[in-house]
Structure 1
Amino acid sequence: MPPPHSARTYPFLSTPFVARLFKLALCASVVALAGCAATQSRQTADASSNHLLRDSYLLSTQSDPLGAWLDSKDQLDINYPQSDNPSSQIPKTMAATAMKFLGVKYRYGGDAPGEGFDCSGLVAYAAEKSLGLKLPRTASSQAQEGISIDRGELRRGDLVFFNTRGRRFSHVGIYLGNHQFVHAPRTGAAIRVESMDIAYWRKRYNGARRLKAQPDTAQR
């Protein structure tokens, strides 16, 4: 009489059956490993893409914590001066004058295109060329010119001021619309456009002024 639990009593424990089970298990393992490899590959690609975006941001800002340099008008949604007649002269506006110097290096005390600009130098130059105004040379003095404007009333060409050195009105830029402004940031950087919604600028914003053009001069 055969002993209990013998191969004859349980034929599924025969060697061919076990071999088939082993093959099925092996196939399932291969499929699972392939799936894991594909997932890992996608994760690696996503991580690489994120690193590229980060590196691109740092390169464009030169590791500047003040925000990205948005030097493309397609990104800014700014109303640039346009004319249906190519031969007509485009009005010289304060904002458009400043925008011509995007990429020019910051220079402390600079107030002319050939030497570079600091923040108040850029504003003074643009105001004189477009409005015929002789503004004071410092940002704090420029904050006394024109009339005070609430943030919700900002228009293209208004001056926007920030506390960047522990004192009010220590930095100035020119508002462009759509929460963007053009300015000369700091030593080592260049004239650029930034968003006032960036946390750095939002926390340091402390007022705006609207200038009045001299007779026979263009609007802002």
Structure 2
Amino acid sequence: MNTTHSKRRFRNFTIGVSLGAALLAAGTGITGNSSTAYAATSTTPANSVSSSIADKIIATGLKYQGVRYEYGAESGITSSFDCSSFTQFVFEHNEISLPRSSKQQSTVGTYVSRNELQPGDLVFFYSPVHHVAIYMGDGKILHTYGDDGVTITPLNTGWWASHYTSARRVLPTNGQAASDSGSASASPDPATPASSDVSSQEQTIGDAWDWLNNFE
């Protein structure tokens, strides 16, 4: 009788120890998962651009508002700009190197969708790319073209809205450089139409083509 009772107590004790260990392990797993989830929700978005650098980029560009447009303007001069020499100069002044042409600039940094534009992003127009501008925020771009020279233009109306092509981010994000000496890694651009679609999407461009040919 005593032997049977002892065996039963030993078996219950063994089961209790095993159950306790299982519950402890489960509790640890739950705690770990909860902490991980909380950490993930508190992380700053990876595509958050450094606002201080963007502000400096835009402030530099605004200093040259009204400077005349000249197709093929020499890199580094400030008496005249074309679209890409302007962006190249403004970014270079803030220690971010870009290649010379708008087409080349459209391949650096990382792709940004239109609804995720942030100040300091490069915005490109027409396909193939013929023009580049700097997104300022609030639906405005800073660029140079035609008689206006360096100027501010609404992005979401008129010709610019209908001929928007894509955007790239070359400014640092969360302290990490998105561009290094103009050789940032290019990423696929889902907004760029396939060559077979270009003709159907751009059947007519009206009088805009006359001056668009002067963009580089």
What's the TM-score bracket when you normalise by the shorter of the two chains? Answer: 0.5 to 0.7
Partner of 2:149: 190
Partner of 1:115: 79
Provide closer, same or farther for how the CA distance between residues 209 and 91 of structure 1 changes in structure 2, counting only shifts above 3 A: closer
Partner of 1:105: 68
When the two chains are superposed, the root-mean-square deviation of aligned CA atoms in Å is 2.7
Query: 1:170-185 residue pairs with structure 2 within 5 A?
Result: 170-185=130-145
Cα deviation digits, residues 172-209 of structure 1 (max 9, x gap): 000000110000113x3311000012221111000000
Q: In 1, distance between residues paired with 2:91 and 2:139?
A: 20
What is the SS of the residue equivalent to 2:148?
A: coil
What is the SS of the residue equivalent to 1:183?
A: strand
Q: Which has the larger radius of gyration?
A: 1
- Shift, 1:216, TM fit: 11
Alignment: residue pair count: 125
Partner of 1:201: 160
Letter in 1 for 2:171: K
Cα deviation digits, residues 121-147 of structure 1 (max 9, x gap): 0100011111x1221100000000100
Cα deviation digits, residues 45-85 of structure 1 (max 9, x gap): xxxxxxxxxxxxxxxxxxxxxxxxxxxxxxxxxxxx99xxx
Cα deviation digits, residues 10-39 of structure 1 (max 9, x gap): xxxxxxxxxxxxxxxxxxxxxxxxxxxxxx
TM (normalized to structure 2)?
A: 0.52
Provide closer, same or farther for how the CA distance between residues 91 and 136 of structure 1 changes in structure 2, counting only shifts above 3 A: closer
Indicate which of 119, 123, 127 corresponds to 2:91.
127
For the Cα contact (< 8 Å) 2:67–2:79, is it kept in 1? Answer: no
- Structure 2's unaligned 5+ residue stretches are 1-50, 178-216
- Structure 1's unaligned 5+ residue stretches are 1-80, 83-89
Q: In 1, distance between residues paired with 2:66 and 2:117?
A: 25
What is the SS of the residue equivalent to 1:116?
A: coil
Q: In 1, distance between residues paired with 2:114 and 2:176?
A: 28
Provide closer, same or farther for how the CA distance between residues 147 and 192 of structure 1 changes in structure 2, counting only shifts above 3 A: same
For the pair 1:158 / 2:117, whether they are aligned, the reply is no
How many percent identity over aligned positions?
Answer: 31
Provide closer, same or farther for how the CA distance between residues 114 and 124 of structure 1 changes in structure 2, counting only shifts above 3 A: closer
Indicate which of 105, 109, 112 corresponds to 1:146.
109
For the Cα contact (< 8 Å) 1:101–1:113, is it kept in 2? Answer: no
Partner of 2:25: none
Q: In 1, distance between residues paired with 2:66 and 2:77?
A: 11
